[in-house]
Amino acid sequence: MSAQPPVPPRRAGGEFALIDWIRRRVGSHPRLEVGIGDDAAVLSWPEPDSALVAVDMLVEGVHFDFQHATPEQVGRKALAVNLSDIAAMAGRPVAAVVALALPRGRDEELGQRLHEGLVGLAEATEVVLAGGDTTSTDGPLVLSVTVIGTPLPGGPVLRSGARPGDRLLLTGCLGQSRHRHHLEFTPRLDEARALCDSGGLHALIDISDGLAADLYHVLTESRVGARLRARDIPLREPRSATEYAPDGRTALAHAISDGEDFELLAAVEPETAAQLIAAPPFETPLADIGEIVAGNSAELLMPDGRSVPLPPLGYEHQLD
């Protein structure tokens, strides 16, 4: 007969205090009928009647460590990555719920500081923290955030709608996100709305795994190919595209393969794309970096005029 594991206590004293603090910290929201303090949150959900749901989990030692990020930054990022996913569906986020496993014996303040970062971004984006679950653990800190939202008029916009002839438009710039950007980025919610309002948006994705990898998600789902122009891909680094960094890779290779840029890549009908580029409806830079073509693979036009295949991953050798 196998021994039954002991039932863990549902809640330790410090966790009640933390939940109380969070409850006081979170404000009201037009969609929130019942928030923190009951068995489940109640949201009003008039129109439209479909909901977008995204979840993301951050594990200490795997996705972050407190040597390189403050608790506020980690809490903020846990929400921000989900907001980026909602933006990438052409959605508007409404509410978030948090699941937190706090290592036993860690500073009491830690939970508060994580939530402070998270709630700060929630307020800035008019998202309400509607509830959550808090537990202690003998393992690493785990923070999981779920966001629920509504599709914008004209949304949701999927990865599967790209058509040959569409232009590929990119917000912001790419590469070397791990130095700072991944902790500070602004989810492209307003940009997604403007792209959706343009009426010519066929497919949308946020760049979390790297431009090449995420472009291929669109290509695979839409059953199309693409041609990118290296010269037009905006780089975060000041170095020129083909200059080598101390790590032996070029800024272009970083821009194409690094992840966590959280920019939007959109496939847009060509006339609308030309209008968007001529008069961008937002301040964030918007670049036309290539086009959708028939086929099932991508190629990259290099600054020296060579055309090279762009596989989803591991193309560094061809680019350097």
Point out which residues bind Mg ion (CB under 5 A).
Answer: 39
Query: Is 39 or 304 the residue whose CB approaches Mg ion more closely?
Result: 39
Does position 134 bind ligand ADP by CB under 6 A?
A: yes
Q: Name the minimum Å distance from CB 290 to ligand ADP.
A: 42
Does position 38 bind ligand ADP by CB under 6 A?
A: yes
Does position 37 bind ligand ADP by CB under 6 A?
A: yes
Query: Is 88 or 148 the residue whose CB approaches ligand ADP more closely?
Result: 148
Does position 178 bind ligand ADP by CB under 6 A?
A: no
* Cα–Cα distance for residue pair 179/64, rounded to 1 Å: 12
Does position 19 bind ligand ADP by CB under 6 A?
A: yes
Does position 123 bind ligand ADP by CB under 6 A?
A: no
Does position 11 bind ligand ADP by CB under 6 A?
A: yes
Does position 269 bind ligand ADP by CB under 6 A?
A: no
Does position 98 bind ligand ADP by CB under 6 A?
A: yes
Residue of 192, 172, 191, 170 whose CA lies nearest to 182:
172
Tell me the window of 127-135, 161-169, 202-210, 242-250 that interacts with ligand ADP (CB under 6 A).
Answer: 127-135
Beta pairing, strands 201-206 & 32-34 = unpaired
Does position 100 bind ligand ADP by CB under 6 A?
A: yes
Nearest residue to the partner Mg ion, using Cβ: 39
Strand partners, 308: 300
Query: Is 39 or 247 the residue whose CB approaches Mg ion more closely?
Result: 39
Does position 129 bind ligand ADP by CB under 6 A?
A: yes
CA distances from 254 to 44, 240, 290, 303 (A): 44, 12, 18, 15
Does position 71 bind ligand ADP by CB under 6 A?
A: no
Q: Name the minimum Å distance from CB 23 to Mg ion.
A: 15
Tell me the window of 128-136, 164-172, 239-247, 281-289 that interacts with ligand ADP (CB under 6 A).
Answer: 128-136
Q: Name the minimum Å distance from CB 26 to Mg ion.
A: 18
CA distances from 155 to 24, 188, 265 (A): 34, 15, 16
Does position 39 bind ligand ADP by CB under 6 A?
A: yes
Task: Tell me which residues touch ligand ADP (CB under 6 A).
Answer: 10-11, 19, 22, 36-39, 98, 100, 129, 131-134
